[in-house]
Structure 1
Amino acid sequence: MSHEDDEVEPDEDGSAALGPLVAETPDPQLTALLEHLREQRGFDFTGYKSASLARRIGRRMAAAGVGSYEDYQDRLSVDPGEFDALFDTVLINVTAFFRDADAWEHLRTEVLPRLLARRTGRLRVWSAACASGQEPYSLAVLLAEALGPEEFADRVKIYATDVDEVALATARNGLYDEREVAGVPEQTLARWFEPVGDRFQVRKELRRAVIFGRNDLIQDAPISHIDLLLCRNALMYFNAQTQAQIVRRLHFALEPHGVLFLGKAEMLLSHPDLFQPLELRRRFFRKVVGEPRRVAMPLTGAAPADAVPPEDLSRLWEEALLQAPAAQVVIGRDGVLVASNRRAQSLFAIGPRDAGRPFHDLEMSYKPVELRSSIEQVLAARAPLWLRDLSWQRVGQRPVSLDVQVVPLLTSDGEVLGVTVIFNDVTRYRELQDQLEQANQHLEAAYEELQSTNEELETMNEELQSTNDELNSSNEELRLRTAEVGELAHFLEAVLGGLRAGVAVLDDDLRVLAWNERAADLWGVRDDEALGRPMGDLDIGLPFDRLRPLLVAHANGLPAEDVVRVEAVNRRGRTVDLDVAVSPLRRGGAGADGAIVVMTVVG
């Protein structure tokens, strides 16, 4: 299983400090379905974020024409082949050679030379959640070029694992089409790949160095004594408890000098006892050697069995920071944005992906107030600074009143780590004060009005925050799905995407190029029976003679009616009224290459 798409949902959503983002309460029927998948196929999805998981399963259910989890579980019981379609939807195996070129260049020029100089013997590398193999083969190319083919064969062993056996089968072959090798430099392609028909295969000397195998990051033991561990954009899809479990396994897998390479969408700010950043912007981390930090328990006389586990306290602490009502950001002493809570992300239109950017590049560094000079003053004086009664008018939104506090972050020894900036939204209090001043003579009426206004503002605030989270999540899912379908999406989305009507795509000779499931259901003609035949020759209850002039006109780019209503007979022998919409099919250039026919049952 790999989730290597860093151009995406969020849901769940951009670069994120690994940890809880939202409180999730799974649907009992969804939980029952997940238990069924674990019992029948050994896939345990209970550690995934339930909102994201529910959306992906819902997408597959919609494609299968099933309306409830319970009905879908019945469908899986009678149609074992549906398991494969479901896993293809949930296990988003999206990857590419040298994905995030800047990070791979840093790996080539900085990380690998240090590792190779320190590790004079065999180098052990683990590519976890490797999908169809592009990531471990990219690494093999870098190591072979750094060491030379002979030393590479003697010194390097790469373990590549995933939970998806179908993806692993593709990876073992090392055979990729032209689109899949588009990101490989031409010189690298010529040296390390061999043409096989219209595809390219990774050379045998690289394939021999990579051992592919199934490994579930949640359930299976980690590979040990690893010098370099790649686990890119997989962690962000798990809930906080599962993330913590996996991160500890990755920590165990690494040698003391080991390096962890994460994806662009992930950070480890909530696990400072396990990993410290080597290069935060490019997501390289070093293992922290020694005992993981212990959380001191209060001296209340409670028995050890009553103590809260350290990971739960860590999660509670992080969740408290993320959900704090005041917007808050943390800036390192080097001027880089380190973290932000949810309120800050909503207020300033920033996201977890902005972590690692220079603070002065962000609009919030000078709006609603110039903060750069204030931060410099706080760092120099090592004392907090208040900026009060600031008014901020955002485009299209109500003015906001803010009290801003800039606080230095110091170690116990007085060393400056950075600053935290807290934006206290005092808008409600300013409004309340103004309204109370105007309502001295009408106290009772003013009280009811203020109460109603306060409740409305609270509701709007919750709805806006929820909508923002959902939009970010949906955007991430959309990018993942777009990458997954590849080039075919450009054609299929134009013709069939999202339509529930019967659709036929015709060439300029009115022969059927595409025939969707709704058309098959409407007329009782399968797509394999319709494809390649003139639509007029199909034995269906559509008055084609009436439509032929309209179709011919559109197929040749001539002006004609766009929609016509006709009476037809469906596959069940029933008379139905149809709205038949026709538009020209254009696959490039100004002319028409055919026609798109959309048949909608009226009533």
Structure 2
Amino acid sequence: MSDRQSPDEDFEEVLRYLKETRGFDFTGYKRTSLMRRVHHRMSQVGIESHADYIDRLQVDPDEFNALFNTILINVTGFFRDREAWDCLRDDVVSAMLAERGPDEPIRVWSAGCASGEEAYTLAMVLAEVLGPERFRRQVKIYATDVDGEALAHARQAVYTERELEGVPPELVTTYFEPHQGRYAFRKDLRRTVIFGRNDLVQDAPISRIDLLVCRNTLMYFNQETQARILGRFHFALTPRGVLFLGKAEMLLAHGRLFDPIDLKRRLFRKANGSGGGVPNFVTHAFAQDRRIDVGGLDRLREHAFAGGPVAQAVINSEDVLVLANQQAEALFGLSGQDVGRPLRDLDLSYRPVELRGHVEQVRNERRPLRVKEVSWQRPGGELLWLEVDLNPLFGNPLSGQDSAIIGISIVFHDVTATRRLFDDLEFANQQLETAYEELQSTNEELETTNEELQSTVEELETTNEELQSTNEELETMNEELQSTNDELQTINDTLRDRTRELDQVNDFLESILTSLRAGVIVLDPGMRVIAWNRGAEELWGVRRDEAVGEHLLNLDIGLPLAELRPVVRQALGDASFLTEVKVGAINRKGRDVVVRVVCSSLRSNAGEPNGAILVMEQSG
């Protein structure tokens, strides 16, 4: 035999790989349609072998999304099969509201919601019947799917005009707002719809559901998987909960877990007190009778009732206890001896809740009754919260309300954990409301900031235009400056040549002053020293850098400057002044000497006095 796997085994290997790596279990889907879609995707990427396609999935993570989009064909729309939705609104929702008070919550589950059209259709139907205010207060819609991309699209709640073709114009006006060329579902009602991922095959169902909508989703699964999913739906629904299926799905009478409300429009109600096998909701492809004879049903029903997961008791038309399961016996201290006793003689009649009045109400109104928020402190135990369901049992179930009531089933649901969770959620909800108000305030501030930014952008655009003009002017000026720079460069070259000449002249004058043995001091008009030669340094012992810039009269030298002051002042005021004086002085060695001082005026080119020159020479 060849080791090579058959084509079917290769295909199953692909399904196992998807389950192990991404958690998607497609083994419950119909093989024919599933293989057709996988092969369609393989042909799109040019792959023929299942093994090669697994290799492609391993190296290209984006291929998973493309494959899932091909398998999970999200064909949906607003108000699909309009007659069925009208029947749901007029017959089912109206009856559901009649059984509830104005503040009792209504929980709805849209299973397989795809891109959200079905969930928002439910919201519009309920809002039309309840009114927007009561809808926001009472209704919570849970919308689930396995396709993450479809859920992301649904959360945005934005649809094109073509996608809204199935919505009546008046509902579009009421429930949608224009949004960037498309239409967005109203934000205040959008918050009642909660989207989340849920795999009907693997994940636990949402509980305590009053209306469960799953249209044209079961048709993709095989018969065994459909039966398992519908068993979970039965668990999820409240005692009188309603199941709304698509027209491609129907009910086979293998059990009594669901009773038809309108078979043509696929509306069913959960049958209370059902004890038969798991019902089969299947598509037309599986509509075939597979009945077999089952023996020992009475004994099986007895054990099933006794081992039920919730406490349950049954009284007959005489208000006598006829049945109590193990949970009821353990919870309320009942025993086999209590069976056959009147309800009024049992503690159960008033603990944990007064039952006789509720029993009488069920018998008179001939419909189920739920007693909520029942708190009961068990003797020596913890505080429990219960919900009590009282359901009339009719003698002929097929005749419904026209039949005599032969008893009443009393079921006690322990909702302690749910109540604690609800309290925690209430606290969390208060925190979320506070956070929402803060976000709302922040959003208003952001809108104001956005308007200011818009104004700033407009101003910047205007400024940009002005800067553009300024830039053009600057370019023109730059050309002019370039021309001026060329001229300055020429001038700079000329000045450099003149500076070089001046340096040479200065060097020449410096050499003259240095060559003179006599001391030479040159003063500016303010009598500050501007030249001090080496002869002056030798005569008075003061260096040039110490003397230059100082006032003549502030110098500490042996020359009697006070006597020379009148002479210097005459030289500063008269351009032709020239005189010679002899004065006694003390040279740098501290010896008394006689110094001959020649003082003349320093003339400018214009012949004006511009300073004074002192030539000093020590006399023999």
TM-score of the aligned structures, taking structure 2 as reference length: 0.44
Q: Which has the higher helix share?
A: 2
Larger RCO of the pair (alpha carbons < 8 Å, separation 6+): 1
Structure with larger Rg: 2
